[in-house]
Structure 1
Amino acid sequence: MRQDPVLVSPLLLILLLFVLGVLTPPDVTIDRLLPVAPALAAALWPVVPTLLLGLACLLGVALYAVATSDPSLWFTAGAISAVTAAAAYASHLRLQREATLTEVRTVADTTQNVLLRPIPRRVGPLEIATLYQTPTPHARIGGDFYALADTRHGIRLVIGDVRGKGLPALVVAAALLGSFREAAYEATDLTQLAKRLEATLLRGDATALAQGDPAELFATAVLVEIPRHGSHATIFSCGHPPPLLARHGNIDTLDTDDPAPPLNLGSLLTTPCHPQRFAFRAGDHLLLYTDGVTETRDATGAFFPLATWAQEQLTTAPRQVLNNLHHALLKHSGNNLNDDIAAIAIRKTA
Structure 2
Amino acid sequence: MPRRARPRADAPRAGDEAPEGMPSPRFASWLPAILIVGGVVYDISSPPAYTAAPFFAAAPLVAAPLYPLRLTALTGALAVTAACLLAELHGVRDWAQSATEIATVVTVALLALLISHVVRRGGRRLASARGIAEAAQRAVLPVPPARLAGLDVAARYVAAEQDAAIGGDLYAVQDTPHGVRMLIGDVRGKGLGAVEVVAITVGAFREAAEQEATLEGLALRLERALQRERARRADFEQIEGFITAVLAEIPRGDSLLRLINRGHPAPLLLHADGSVRSAEPEVPALPLGMGDLGAWPDRVEELPFAEGVTLLLFTDGVSEARDAQGTFYDPEARLRGRRFATPVELLDALVADVERHTGGGTTDDMALLALRRAPVTSGAVPEHAP
TM-score (norm 1): 0.90
Give RMSD over aligned pairs.
2.4
Q: Which residue matches 1:307?
A: 332
Match of 2:18 in 1: none
Please give the residue correspondences for 1:212-231 in structure 2 after superposition, counting only pairs within 5 Å: 212-213=236-237, 217-231=241-255
Match of 2:70, SS? Answer: helix
CA distance in 1, matches of 2:238, 2:91: 80
Alpha-carbon shift at residue 165 of structure 1 (Å): 2.3
Q: Show the 5 A alignment for 1:274-289.
A: 274-289=299-314
Residue aligning to 1:232: 256
Deviates more, 1:144-153 or 1:207-216: 207-216
Match of 1:241 in 2: 265
Name the residue aligned to 1:53.
75
Alpha-carbon contact 1:221-1:263 (below 8 Å) kept: yes
Q: How far off its partner does 1:348 sit?
A: 1.5
Pick the aligned partner of 1:144 from 162, 169, 173.
169
Cα displacement (A) at 1:76:
2.5
Q: Which residue of 322, 340, 347 maps to 2:365?
A: 340
Distance 1:117 1:213, change over 3 A: same
> What does residue 321 of structure 1 align with?
346
Rounded to whole Å, the distance in 2 between the matches of 1:219 and 1:27 is 71
Aligned residue runs from structure 1 range 244-283, under 5 A: 244-247=268-271, 248-257=273-282, 260-268=285-293, 271-283=296-308
Cα contact 2:275–2:337 (8 A) shared by 1:
no
- 2:9 maps to none
Q: Helix, strand or coil: the match of 2:297?
A: coil
Matches within 5 A, 1:156-167: 156-167=181-192
Shift of 1:246: 1.9
Change (3 A) 1:53 1:291: closer
Q: Which residue number corresponds to residue 224 of structure 2?
A: 199
Q: Provide closer, same or farther for how the CA distance between residues 268 and 30 of structure 1 changes in structure 2, counting only shifts above 3 A.
A: closer
**DSSP-derived class of the 1:342 partner:** strand
TM-score for the superposition, normalised by structure 2: 0.83
2:382 is matched with none
Question: Which segment is superposed worse, 277-286 or 336-345?
Answer: 336-345
Q: Deviations over 1:18-71 (max 9, x none)?
A: 222233233322245312111221222222222222222223333333344314
In 1, the alpha carbon distance for the partners of 2:248 and 2:90 equals 83
CA contact (8 A) 1:172 1:210 kept: no
What number of residue pairs does the alignment pair up? 349
User: What is the rounded CA distance, in whole Å, between the counterparts of 1:218 and 1:258 in structure 2?
Assistant: 19
Structural mapping, 1:85-234, within 5 Å: 85-203=110-228, 205-206=229-230, 208-209=232-233, 211-213=235-237, 217-234=241-258
**Conserved? CA contact 1:134–1:140, under 8 Å:** yes
Q: Which runs of 5+ in 1 are unaligned?
A: none
Deviations 1:188-232 (A, max 9, x none): 1211111110110111x4155573436971111111112342312
Q: Structure 2 stretches of 5 or more lacking a match?
A: 1-12, 16-24, 376-386
Distance 1:270 1:94, change over 3 A: closer
The CA distance in 1 between the partners of 2:69 and 2:302, in whole Å, is: 64
1:46 alignment partner AA: P
Contact 1:207–1:214 (CA under 8 A) maintained in structure 2: no
- Once structures 1 and 2 are overlaid, which stretch shifts more, 164-173 or 193-202? 164-173
Give 1:10's aligned amino acid.
P
- Residues 38 and 55 of structure 2 are in contact (CA less than 8 Å); yes or no, is this contact kept in structure 1? no
Inter-partner Cα distance in structure 1 for 2:219 and 2:345: 31
Structure 1 match to 2:62: 40
Q: Which residue of 1 aligns with 2:102?
A: 77
Which of residues 41, 44, 54 in structure 2 aligns to 1:19?
41
User: Using the alignment, how far apart are the partners of 2:121 and 2:115 within structure 1?
Assistant: 10
How far apart, CA to CA, are the structure 1 residues paired with 2:222 and 2:329?
30
